[in-house]
Amino acid sequence: MLAPGPDLHAMPAATYALPLEQERCCWPQEAQRQLQDCPPHAILRRAVLLQRLGELSAAEATLLAALQGGDPADRCLALDLLVGQQQRRQQRLWALQLLEQAEAALAQAGETLAAARRQALQASLMLRRRQLQDLASASEPPDASKHSPLQWLQALQEQFLRQELDGLSLSLCQWPSNLDSPEALELKAVALRALGQRDAAMQTLDYLLQRGHGSALAWQQTLQLNNAAGLHNGLAITVASRQHPRHPEIAHIRNAVQLIGRQTAEGRRSAFQERLQYSLGSLNAHPGESDGNLLNAYDQTGCSHLMPWLHPNAWQALEQRPLLCSNLVMQLASQSHPRAVEATERLAKRYAVPTAPTPGPASTPLRVALVGPDFAYHPVGRFVQMLLEAGLGQGGTLFLASTQGTPMPRTQELAGNQLIDLSQRSEADQLQRMRDLQLDVAVDLTGWTANHSAHLFAPRIAPVQINYLGYYASSGLPAMDAWLGDQALFPTPMQEWHSERIVRLPRAFLAWKPSEHLPEGRVDVPPGPDGPVTFGCFNHARKLSAATLTLWAQLLNAVPSAQLALKAFASDDPGVAELIQRRMRRCGLPLERVIWLPTTARPDDHLRQYGLMDIALDPFPNGGCTTTCEALWMGVPVITLCGSHYVGRMSTAVLAAADLPQYIANSEDAYLRIAVDAAAQVNALRQGRRALRRRVQTSALGDAEGLATALWSCWGALRQSLAA
């Protein structure tokens, strides 16, 4: 480590630029020691050391003082350091405007300013003006043998900005052994992440944080890598937020993690903070990201009805980012809102038109792939595993293409070598891998939900492509040939908008037959509660619409002794309960009769909580499906209001498959009457819980083998009709 140098103002600019940069790259402990020895008149050196220690406000004041007169080279260097600091704080616009105004001073500095420093300032101006071709030709590829370590690092940064990843990969192999500095390691971590070497990037960041370099960039990269790996580390978020409380990138990540972790009240609060920062001009990130977080926060706190009223600018920002736009489409579709059609059509147009493969003779046996990210312990993953247990893989050549995550062990075992792991491939590689399978039929299990597969289905991976099971609305994709359901989901006549051909199975569209490999197959039917009748709902808070809460309030008034058990929020975010309770009060629901159940860490404990309710209430217009199957399996009848759209008819389809039409209501008045009548028979319901499970097992809902046969028959018929 370098010892403190002489007074910088006593030296020519060309000789002090490099030592300044070396001090800027020192570790925090060394910077603290050097700052104590730094004389007051060494303004630039003091500013650099303050930056290193994270005292950005003090560094900014020092640099602004250095801009008052003095040598042009000094002013340019101070401006460059100020620009660098403001970039880390995401407020670089003002500093870059100052830099443009100082271009004359940059020209005056001439050769008195170190060449590397002058090039960096010119590069900043080129980036500001979007002169990317000039920037690309302004520097040579990095070569450690021809540059000093810090000059080489700067050239490497420019290469990274140009995203020349092949050259960057080669340069990382030539990493100078003497370049042990926070900035160098930050760059290395960012570059490794860009090259897809996530483990190596995380190791580099761990080393940085362990040595006390908790910069905003290091924390930002760490949190983003954790999120990408599905590791939503609350402690890391807390530490990063305390060290950088107003850093917008960290606030954005904190918001996302809070929403993922069901801390939806905190997430909504963070989303509002993001919007405030953006409005004040202190957030340079794409506005669609902030709008997306606010949209998620509204959705998860049961305020989805507000989404259609987003400001037009927010709609435009979201639509410029397909991932966020798909989120908006999914949530509008969950409310059966008319604007869902418009949003779906606009999103579908962003994806490629079908280019391949062309239809030919069907394979013998048929080659089919189920495609999606949810083969883990997820509703879709559980339904698929039940079908595999029932012999779905024996009807032809069946592939499971997993686009993200790790499938459940039993699913992996049943799929064998027909399990295709796409999770580590680029979108282009995923497309080619799926086309190489020469499929007859591809089944999309995702729709526009998280981690969707539109990049595969829009350009086509099979002659026949089907929207099935994982999404509750039409995909809108021209390349999606069929939307698969049953008569309960798709009544005649069909009033819901759709771009695909409607295909109705001759039986229930799903089956619920859990084996001992799933918690549902191991947990016995629990006894019912004691005391007064208890209604309940285990659906997420996003589904608790104002209309649902109002009707439940009428139900509790009609059954004065009844209680309502809810499980809609995480216990570590009490703000969610407060938000829901406010909405309940507005809807007239007596809070003193509501029982709040905690979320559970284990699926087994979640299933046993069905023993705390007598009658399950399905919300509307966005009803349940998996929760309805769970409730019936655990001996609890479910009352549903049959809706006009798929998303409001899933429980209707489940109850029809279980041969329980008496719990399906066609109006709110009928819903209320069925619930009141069921409450009057609470003793019989408590005694008949085991009988209800047996009824499921012997019904079409429990006939997974029959569903497997029907699916293969349907897929074959669709493929044959195309060939004809």
3-state secondary structure 645-661: CHHHCHHHHHHHHCCCH
Hey, which residues does 400 pair with through a beta bridge? 370, 419
pLDDT at 13: 31
Q: Are residues 395 and 297 in the same domain?
A: no
Q: How far apart are CA 468 and CA 466, in angstroms?
A: 6
> Can you give the pLDDT at residue 342?
84
Q: What is the DSSP letter of 442?
A: E
Q: How many domains does the chain have?
A: 4
Q: Are 76 and 105 in contact (CB under 8 A)?
A: yes
Q: Tell me the CA distances in angstroms from 31 to 23, 28, 82, 213, 394, one per residue in order.
A: 7, 5, 18, 11, 67
Residue 486 phi/psi, 5-degree rounding, is -145, -175
**What are the contacts of 141-149 at 24+ separation with CB within 8 A?**
141/167, 141/171, 142/167, 142/171, 142/174, 143/174, 144/171, 144/174, 144/175, 144/176, 148/18, 149/176, 149/178, 149/179, 149/184
CB 533 within 8 A of CB 562: yes
Question: For residue 665, what are its two tokens?
Answer: 């209501």
Residue 152 near residue 142, CB atoms below 8 Å: yes
| pTM flag (> 0.85) | no
Tokens, residue 182: 């926070």
Task: Looking at the structure, tell me whether residues 341 and 371 fall in a common domain.
Answer: no
Instruction: Please give the structure tokens belonging to residue 463.
Output: 């002659």
Given this model, what pLDDT does residue 363 score? Answer: 79
Q: Per the structure block, which two tokens stand in for 628? A: 């309805």
Residue 569 to residue 576: CA distance in whole angstroms: 6
Which residues span the domain enclosing 533? 524-702
Residue 173 lies inside a defined structural domain of this protein: no
**List of the chain residues with pLDDT < 70:** 1-26, 52, 54, 56-57, 60, 63-181, 183-184, 187, 194-195, 212-324, 352, 356-359, 568-576, 723-724
Letter string b/e over residues 532-558, b meaning 16 or more CB atoms within 10 A of that residue's CB:
ebbbbbbbbbbbbbeebbbbbbbbbee
Q: Scan for tokens 């595969």, then name that residue.
A: 456
H-helix segments, 307-442: 312-319, 322-334, 339-348, 379-389, 409-415, 427-436
Neighbours of 13 (CB within 10 A): 21
pLDDT of residue 598: 86
The amino acid that residue 292 corresponds to is G
Q: Do 560 and 688 fall within a single domain?
A: yes
pLDDT given at position 237: 47
Within 10 Å of residue 494's Cβ, how many Cβ atoms? 14
Structural element, H or E, at residue 57 = helix 56-66
- Residue labelled with tokens 């949209």: 295
CA distance 572 to 267: 13
Q: What strand order describes the sheet that includes 534-537? A: 594-596, 563-566, 534-537, 615-617, 638-641, 664-665
pLDDT value of residue 337: 79
Contact residues for 436 (Cβ-Cβ < 8 A; gap 6+): none
Question: How large is the angle between the packed helices 216-228 and 234-243, nearest 10 degrees?
Answer: 160
Backbone φ, ψ for residue 148 (5° rounding): -70, 160
- DSSP state string for 89-113: TT-HHHHHHHHHHTHHHHHHHGGGS
> Nearest-CA neighbor of 512 among 713, 712, 699?
699
Neighbours of 560 (CB within 10 A): 9
Sign of the alpha-carbon dihedral angle for 660, 662, 667, 672: negative
675 and 613, same domain (yes or no): yes
| Count of beta carbons in the 10 Å neighbourhood of residue 107 | 11
**625 within some domain:** yes
CATH of the domain at 422: 3.40.50.11380
Q: What are the E-state strand segments in 495-605?
A: 501-504, 534-537, 563-566, 594-596
Q: What is the CATH number of the domain that holds 650?
A: 3.40.50.2000
CB-based contacts of 679: which residues, under 8 Å, 6+ apart?
Answer: 533, 535, 559, 562, 614, 615
Tokens representing 128 are 């500001």
Note the pLDDT of residue 450: 84
Partners of 485 in the beta sheet?
Answer: 504
Asked whether residue 475 is assigned to any structural domain, the reply reads: yes
Looking at the structure, do residues 109 and 53 belong to the same domain, yes or no? yes
Question: Are 88 and 217 a contacting pair, CB within 8 Å?
Answer: yes
The stretches of 110-247 forming alpha helices (DSSP H) are 115-128, 132-137, 149-161, 165-173, 182-194, 198-210, 216-228, 234-243
Last residue of a domain, one of 138, 163, 181: 138
Distance separating alpha carbons of residues 678 and 533, to the nearest angstrom: 10
Domain end (from 138, 153, 180): 138
Residues 694 and 659 in one domain: yes
Instruction: Find tokens 């409607």 and name the residue.
Output: 502
Q: What is the sign, positive or negative, of the torsion defined by CA atoms of 600, 603, 605, 610?
A: positive
Examine residue 180 and state whether it is found in any structural domain, yes or no. no
Q: Are 580 and 544 in contact (CB under 8 A)?
A: yes
Would you say 208 and 185 are in contact if contact means Cβ atoms under 8 Å apart?
Answer: yes
Residue 712 lies in a domain: no
Query: Helices 165-173 and 182-194: crossing angle, nearest 10°?
Result: 130
How many residues comprise the chain?
724
Residue closest to 392 by CA, chosen among 368, 363, 374, 422: 368
- Which helix (H) or strand (E) segment holds residue 664: the answer is strand 664-665
> In 3-state terms, what secondary structure has residue 563?
strand
Structure tokens at 410: 């039993």
Residue at 221 is within a domain: no
Q: Indicate if 391 and 314 belong to the same structural domain.
A: no
CATH number at residue 289: 1.25.40
In a domain, 555, yes or no: yes
Using a 10 angstrom Cβ sphere, with 0-12 exposed, 13-18 middle and 19 or more buried, the burial of residue 528 is: buried
Closest by CA to 574, choosing from 299, 264, 270, 253, is: 264
State residue 66's pLDDT score. Answer: 67
Selection from 101, 153, 114 nearest residue 8 by Cα: 114
Same domain, 676 and 538: yes
Is the four-CA dihedral 693, 695, 701, 705 of positive or negative sign?
Answer: positive
The rounded distance, in Å, linking the Cα atoms of 547 and 621 is: 9
Residue 640: beta bridge partners? 664
State residue 504's pLDDT score. 98
Q: Which of 392, 683, 646, 332 is nearest to 497 (CA)?
A: 646
Three-state secondary structure string covering 371-389: EECCCCCCHHHHHHHHHHH
**For the segment 647-673, what is each residue's pLDDT rounded down to a tens digit?**
999 999 999 999 999 999 999 999 999
The residue among 348, 378, 400 that closes a domain is 348
How far is Cα 99 from Cα 76, in angstroms, rounded to an integer? 8
Buried b (16+ CB within 10 A) or exposed e, 143-161: ebeebebbbbbbbbbbbbe
Query: How is residue 479 written in tokens?
Result: 């390349």
| pLDDT tens track for 214-252 | 565 566 666 666 655 554 444 444 444 444 444 445 455
Residues 544, 689 share a domain: yes
- Say if residue 498 is in the same domain as residue 569: no
Same domain for 456 and 534, yes or no, is: no
Say yes or no: 558 and 678 in one domain: yes
Residue 217 lies in a domain: no
